[in-house]
A and B are shown apart, each in its own frame.
Chain A
Amino acid sequence: MIAIYAALVAVLVAIMMLIARALAGPTIFDRLLAVNTIGNAAILIVALYGFVGGRPDFIDLGLTYALLNYVGTFAVLKFFRAGALGAATEENS
């Protein structure tokens, strides 16, 4: 399936751009956003590669990783809010 190989290459190119943004991102939240989208790209790669390799159980990997990525984003956000709360006023704990 040529489309799956083309999609794999396209997602790899997208990951390069996201890594560039993750490295260059001025604020913490840019980096977090880039890492979140890189995680989504990883789900795509796992799902596409699973189809090419004839392994339908790779989709469970993608599902698990989507959940992990989601929780990880919230964990990092909570850490940074607690960290940043020192400066900001404690109005919404």
Chain B
Amino acid sequence: MAGFEWGGMAIQILSGLLIFAGAGFFVIGAFGFLRMPDLFTRIHAASLADTTGMALVLLGLALLAGPSFAAAKLICLVLFLLFMGPAATHALAAAALASGLKPLHETGEKPGAKHKGSGAAKTRKGRR
């Protein structure tokens, strides 16, 4: 396997930044899972974590691995994840809709509202 110190300090710093940014996006996406009020908004958080988080970390690793088979496999993994994410979440949202789960804006409910919202026509007073 080619030595990890391919290209010396510059490549290491660049790949370190990429990995750090990717891990940051992943944590933000995971935090979005807890904060989002509804399944369909959580899918936004999932797509953030899946695409940018994974892609940046794996590309940083591919950069670190230098021109070798490992880097080629990592890039294939990134491409596959970019195709896989939307397809899986699309199927999930379709199955959720088919099983009768209503998105929040259709039920007229304000996120975190204790009482059942009377309808979408109600003007939104100050949001929390």
Chain B residues whose C-beta falls within 8 Å of the C-beta of A34 in the assembled complex = 33
Q: Which of B43, B61, B73 has the most CB of A within 10 A?
A: B61
CB neighbours of B50 from chain A (8 A): 37, 40
- Give chain B interface residues in 12-35, CB to chain A under 8 Å: 12, 15-17, 19-20, 22-24, 26-27, 29-31, 33-34
With A17-B31, A51-B65, A80-B95 known as contacts, the answer to whether A66 contacts B26 (CB < 8 A) is no
Contacts A14-B26, A17-B31 supplied; 18 other A-B pairs, CB < 8 Å: A1-B12, A3-B16, A4-B16, A6-B19, A6-B23, A10-B27, A11-B23, A21-B42, A29-B92, A37-B29, A56-B65, A59-B77, A63-B80, A66-B77, A73-B92, A77-B91, A77-B92, A84-B98
28 A-B residue pairs with Cβ-Cβ distance under 8 Å, sorted by A, are A3-B17, A3-B20, A6-B20, A7-B19, A10-B24, A14-B30, A14-B31, A21-B34, A27-B39, A29-B39, A29-B95, A34-B33, A36-B92, A37-B46, A37-B50, A43-B54, A44-B26, A48-B19, A51-B64, A54-B4, A63-B77, A67-B80, A70-B87, A73-B88, A73-B91, A81-B95, A81-B99, A84-B95
Interface residues of B (CB under 8 A from A): 1, 4, 12, 15-17, 19-20, 22-24, 26-27, 29-31, 33-34, 39, 42-43, 46, 49-50, 53-54, 57-58, 60-61, 64-65, 68-70, 73-74, 76-77, 80-81, 84, 87-89, 91-92, 95-96, 98-101
